[in-house]
């Protein structure tokens, strides 16, 4: 998908790998400067370096644990100092594991809440004033179809992803009249490192995953990046407070 994001700056959490990294590449390809926030130092630096070399975009990496509000504020101050304004926030960082309720340790629950709920809050809270002062922008959450299907993660994962949906709705309600649109993309079975932890890349697993979807294939990070590009573009200017379900038909339709 081609859109014009020149003279825009996009902050992406979880941009070091998976869906977040592909969104960073796709936004840079369409002209946006990129700031990646991630805890994975090596992969984050590599992603930012790749973007700077390949695209006509400025890219920086900020090594930061998004669960730590003070560190997030410091990271965001440096990003604003570098780029002056932030036009798009993409909240792609996430944590999930397949653990049943009776086996779940409290630490696992708290980690999911910290990364999937507190993390987005910390980032948006740290950047919202700059976004308002700059005339508005877009906040894009990367949710999960698990809050429809109940599969793909434990109760900690689905609960925190539902919370992201609620956060998006409230942000849209509060800030739309002030120029900020908030939306959420809901992926289902996307080929990412998180998926491959549960389903290693084998012909048998790939066939099994594809068979679960009416479209006949599982998703790619590029599928989600295209949806994010649309939401960041002027073409989606009348779309706010809603979701794009990118699921290959797997949520609402069955064979």
Q: Which residues are catalytic?
A: 157
**63: which strand partners?**
38
Nearest to 167 by CA among 138, 124, 126: 124
Q: What are phi and psi of 55, to 5 degrees?
A: -120, 160
DSSP 84: S
| Helix, strand counts (H, E) of the chain | 10, 7
The Cα 155–Cα 147 span in angstroms is 10
User: Per-residue b/e over 5-27, b at no fewer than 16 CB within 10 Å?
Assistant: beebbbbbbbbbbbbbbbbbbbb
């Amino acid at each position: 998908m081609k859109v014009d994001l020149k003279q825009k700056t996009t902050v992406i959490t979880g941009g070091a790998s998976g869906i977040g990294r592909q969104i960073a590449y796709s936004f840079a390809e369409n002209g946006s400067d990129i700031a990646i926030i991630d805890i994975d130092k090596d992969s984050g630096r590599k992603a930012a370096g790749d973007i700077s070399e390949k695209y006509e975009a400025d890219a920086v990496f900020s090594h930061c644990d998004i669960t730590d509000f003070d560190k997030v504020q410091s990271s965001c101050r440096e990003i604003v100092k570098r780029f002056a304004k932030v036009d798009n926030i993409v909240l792609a960082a996430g944590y999930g594991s397949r653990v049943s309720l009776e086996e779940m340790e409290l630490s696992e629950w708290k980690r999911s809440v910290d990364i999937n709920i507190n993390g987005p809050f910390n980032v948006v809270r740290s950047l919202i004033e700059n976004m308002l002062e700059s005339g508005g922008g877009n906040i894009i959450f990367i949710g999960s179809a698990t809050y429809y299907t109940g599969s793909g993660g434990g109760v900690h994962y689905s609960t925190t992803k539902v919370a992201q949906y609620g956060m998006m709705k409230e942000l849209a309600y509060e800030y739309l009249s002030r120029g900020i649109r908030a939306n959420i993309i809901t992926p289902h079975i996307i080929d990412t490192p998180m998926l491959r932890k549960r389903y290693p890349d084998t012909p048998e697993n790939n066939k099994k995953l594809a068979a679960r979807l009416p479209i006949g294939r599982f998703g790619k990070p590029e599928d989600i990046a295209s949806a994010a590009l649309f939401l960041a573009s002027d073409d989606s200017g009348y779309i706010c407070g809603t979701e794009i379900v990118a699921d290959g038909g797997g949520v609402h339709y069955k064979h």
